[in-house]
Amino acid sequence: MCVAIPSLVVELGDSTATVERFEERIVVSLLMLDEPVELGDYLIIQAGAYAVEKLEPEEAELSLALFREWLRMAGEDVRETELPGAAAELRGETRGR
C-alpha cells in the first residue's frame, strides 16, 4: 500500500520544486505534471521523487490534519509546521486574520 502525504511547494526551479512535509524538505521533478505549479501549491509525490498530482489546498490541509492525528496517536511528536494557511502565506495571500 502506498501512502501519499501532501507536500507543500516552498521553492521552484526550472523543472523541479523543493517541497516540505513534516519538517522534511526534498527536491522533486515536475516533469510528470501537466499543469503549472506555484509556490504554496500542494503536490502528491511518488517514489523516485516525481510529483504526480496537484491538490486543492483544502484537500491537502485535511489530509495533513489526519496524518498529524495518526502520528500523535502513535506517540510521535508532531510540530505544527504546516498549518492551514501556510500555502496562502507562501503565495502572499491572507485569510482574514
- What pLDDT score was predicted for residue 71? 84
Per-residue pLDDT of the chain (97 residues; tens, 9 = 90+): 466 889 999 999 999 999 998 889 999 999 999 999 999 999 999 877 889 999 999 999 998 888 888 888 888 776 654 444 555 555 565 444 3
Report the alpha-carbon distance of residue 52 to residue 24 in Å, rounded: 19
CATH number of the structural domain 7-77: 2.30.30.140
The residue type of 50 is Y
Q: Under DSSP, is residue 20 helix (H, G, I), strand (E, B) or coil?
A: strand
Q: Under DSSP, is residue 67 helix (H, G, I), strand (E, B) or coil?
A: helix
- The domain segmentation of the chain, as residue ranges, is 7-77
CA angle 78, 82, 45 (to 5 degrees): 95
pTM for the structure as a whole:
0.72
